[in-house]
Amino acid sequence: MIAMAIALEPKLLIGDEPTTALDVTVQKQVMNLLADLQAETGMGMVLITHDLGVVADVADRAAIMYAGRIVETGQIRDVYDYPAHPYTQGLLNSIPSNVSSGKRLTPIVGSPPNLLALPTGCSFHPRCPFATEVCRTTVPPLREPVGWPPGHAAACHRTEEVLSHG
Ligand code: SF4
């Protein structure tokens, strides 16, 4: 599939779950191949994945999506090292290699919402440990707080508290 896509010399390659169902070794090979092709051809690349670990080494920027909206975006190291949205923190805490040996993984409670009947306010509020009343009524804008690295933004009313907690 990758060979067929590259044969057309695209300016932009969109990889939707490019490593799903592959074992870890082949995943690494595929990601290295994509990185080499990108460097060689200069094409843009958008990778869509549920596995943050897979893209950590090859992506420049990350956009974390929940219920159809971007809830956090930034340079990949800023997002991974300083997650500023509770959903991003939950995703990172669910990766086994991020958790010390002997410690339990911390799952995100609850289930994803019905996209046809989203919760009011912040869509993540029924699952969020930081939720307050304003979260139930008002959709948080994607904002870049003063003092943050340029381009690192989160859609959360309580980003500053979340960041200090993480
Ligand atoms: S806006 Fe509120 S509910 Fe939404 S992620 Fe932030 S703290 Fe949680």
Enumerate residues 6+ apart whose C-beta is below 8 A from 31: 18, 19, 54, 55, 57, 58
Q: Can you tell me which residue has the tokens 């340079």?
A: 75
Q: Which atom of ligand 1 is nearest to the CA of 129?
A: 8
Tens of pLDDT, residues 129-143:
999 999 999 999 999
Residue 154 is predicted with a pLDDT of 97
Percent of the chain with pLDDT over 70: 98
Probe target for ligand 1 pocket from 66, 108, 122, with the most ligand atoms within 8 Å of CB: 122
Token pair for 158:
């309580």
Q: What rounded mean pLDDT belongs to the chain?
A: 90
Distance in Å, CA 41 to ligand 1 centroid: 40
Q: CA-to-CA distance for 84 and 23, rounded, in angstroms?
A: 31
> Per-residue confidence at 166, pLDDT binned at 50, 70, 90?
low
Output the pTM of the full model.
Answer: 0.89
Residues with C-beta less than 6 Å from any ligand 1 atom = 85-86, 122, 124-125, 128, 130-131, 135, 140, 156-158
Q: Can you tell me which residue has the tokens 């460097």?
A: 39
Q: Identify the helix (H) or strand (E) that includes residue 80.
A: helix 76-81
Number of Cβ atoms within 10 Å of the Cβ of 41: 14
Q: Is the pLDDT of residue 80 over 80?
A: yes
Amino acid identity for residue 150 in this structure? P
Tens of pLDDT, residues 95-113:
877 766 777 788 899 999 9
Distance in Å, CA 101 to ligand 1 centroid: 30
Residue 75 is predicted with a pLDDT of 95
Token pair for 48:
């869509």
Ordered structural domains, the chain, with CATH: 2-165 (3.40.50.300)
Distance in Å, CA 63 to ligand 1 centroid: 17
Distance in Å, CA 158 to ligand 1 centroid: 6
Distance in Å, CA 157 to ligand 1 centroid: 6
- Kindly calculate the radius of gyration of the chain based on its CA atoms and give it in whole angstroms: 17
Give the pLDDT mean for 63-82: 95
